[in-house]
């Protein structure tokens, strides 16, 4: 639905910050309002998403084992844990950029050589919008959910998107 500029009457795209004709501010017009279900979803913590325990690998395991596990389980990311504590993540992006085309020579090397150490994590009580923002700003598709360095689960962009497109917003 177009937004009509109160200064000049020009039709503008919904969500425009200023009028394309006269430059008048439109940020105060037709502000979106959230219904009760949307508001409730926005206040929910990540723990309400029903986090499942993700598949993990230890840092000393060979890259070949990680790649095989990722392929068999159709994973884009493995959480790397040592004594139950998250120490890194190994993503398809890590494999492409850090292993590269001479991967055959590196298959016996430990996962720790290629993982992203100390990844960005969130606590289970972080609100859903905070996770969305963190993923957007960082360019992440996954964020581990951690409490006291213990891996509780993994939030994916798919998990978050599902909250907004599912019927009833749960």
pLDDT for the residue numbered 34: 57
Could you tell me which of 89, 82, 51 has the C-alpha nearest to residue 150?
A: 82
Structure tokens at 161: 């998107």
Residue 140 inside a domain? The answer is yes
- Over residues 125-131, the mean pLDDT reads 88
In eight-state DSSP terms, residue 125 is: T
96 shares a domain with 71: yes
Of 82 and 41, more confident: 82
pLDDT score of 105 more than 80 = yes
- Other CB atoms within 10 Å distance of the CB of residue 110: 16
The least confident of 30-34, 37-41, 66-70, 119-123 is 30-34
Tell me the C-alpha distance between 40 and 26, whole Å.
27
- Is the whole-model pTM more than 0.75? no
Q: How does residue 27 score in pLDDT terms, banded at 50, 70 and 90?
A: confident
60 close to 110: Cβ distance less than 8 angstroms: yes
Give the CATH number for residue 125.
Answer: 3.10.580.10
pLDDT for the residue numbered 145: 95
Tell me the C-alpha distance between 83 and 80, whole Å.
10
pLDDT for the residue numbered 90: 97
Look at strands 150-156 and 56-57 and give their pairing.
unpaired
Overall domain count for the chain = 2
Enclosing domain of residue 77: 42-169
């Amino acid at each position: 639905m177009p937004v009509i500029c109160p200064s000049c009457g020009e039709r503008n795209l919904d969500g425009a910050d200023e009028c394309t004709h006269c430059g008048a501010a439109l940020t105060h017009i037709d502000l979106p309002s959230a219904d009760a279900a949307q508001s409730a979803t926005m206040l929910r913590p990540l723990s309400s998403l029903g986090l499942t325990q993700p598949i993990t690998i230890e840092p000393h395991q060979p890259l070949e084992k990680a790649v095989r596990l990722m392929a068999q389980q159709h994973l884009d990311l493995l959480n790397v844990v040592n004594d139950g504590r998250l120490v890194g993540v190994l993503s398809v992006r890590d494999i492409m950029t850090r292993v590269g085309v001479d991967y055959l020579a590196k298959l016996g090397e430990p996962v720790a050589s290629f993982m992203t150490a100390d990844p960005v994590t969130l606590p289970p009580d972080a609100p859903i919008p905070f996770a969305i923002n963190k993923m957007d700003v960082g360019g992440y598709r996954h964020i581990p959910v951690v409490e006291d360095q213990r891996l509780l689960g993994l939030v994916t962009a798919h998990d978050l998107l599902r909250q907004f497109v599912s019927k009833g917003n749960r």
